[in-house]
Amino acid sequence: MDFSGKVVLVTGGSRGIGRACAVAFAKAGATVVLTYAGNDAAAEEAVRLAGSKAQAVKFDVADTGACTKCVDEVVKQHGRLDVLVNNAGVAVDGLLVRVKDEDWDRQLDTNLKGAFALARAAARPMMKQRSGAIINLTSVVGDTGNAGQAAYAASKAGLVGLTKALAHELASRNIRVNAVSPGFIDTDMTSKLSDELRTKLIGLIPLGRLGTAEEVAASVVFLASDAASYTTGEVLKVNGGMYM
């Protein structure tokens, strides 16, 4: 899995799974551009961990114009774009009858529309290269649903449909589109769970533990690599057997 000479764009790359992806691609030799929405300190730390071939770009993926601008700048600076990892996401939990329109819109705009806008922008240089890989990070709740996460689950299920549609559309240009569906991963988001809820969740996982961001990143790197050259339109579940 050698990414020397390749350029990789990872959204939401300052923390958690995104940071792990940025570091993993950098270790494999790639030039990595990671994006983030607001935490400058976290972005600086991610760049430090990824090394000298990494850089950070600050923008909101819910802004489709900013998505296009980011991709254009990456191609202008580096001459190409080989891999897009749509990882940026947000969750605003709330029961259906209490969900505000703005909370619904924020999650769909960030998690789904942002991924669409970035894929649309990235497809152009990839089509010219006649090569590329797009990896979308969905979630186990996109398959199972989850009480209190109607918008989040809908956005992640939408990413699965987007992945499969783009896989059909872009295959003739040698662009592969796949998704990785993490289960419960040990990140900043899950660290906020109570011990009781954490224990309950682990009880639902056949492997008996939460996953790590690095384990998810390994699957992302695999799907982006030549080792997966005959794989497109797939959703790789990384959930410890929680949902099969």
Q: Which residues are catalytic?
A: 152
Match 């996460």 to its residue by tokens: 149
Q: What angle do CA 37, 136, 204 make, to 5 degrees?
A: 100
Residue 184 is given by DSSP the state S
- Tell me the residue type at 111: N
In Å, what is the CA distance from 45 to each residue of 114, 151, 215, 216, 229?
24, 31, 20, 20, 32
Q: What angle do CA 185, 107, 103 make, to 5 degrees?
A: 120
Please return the burial class of 49, using the count of CB atoms within 10 Å of its CB with bins 0-12, 13-18 and 19+.
middle
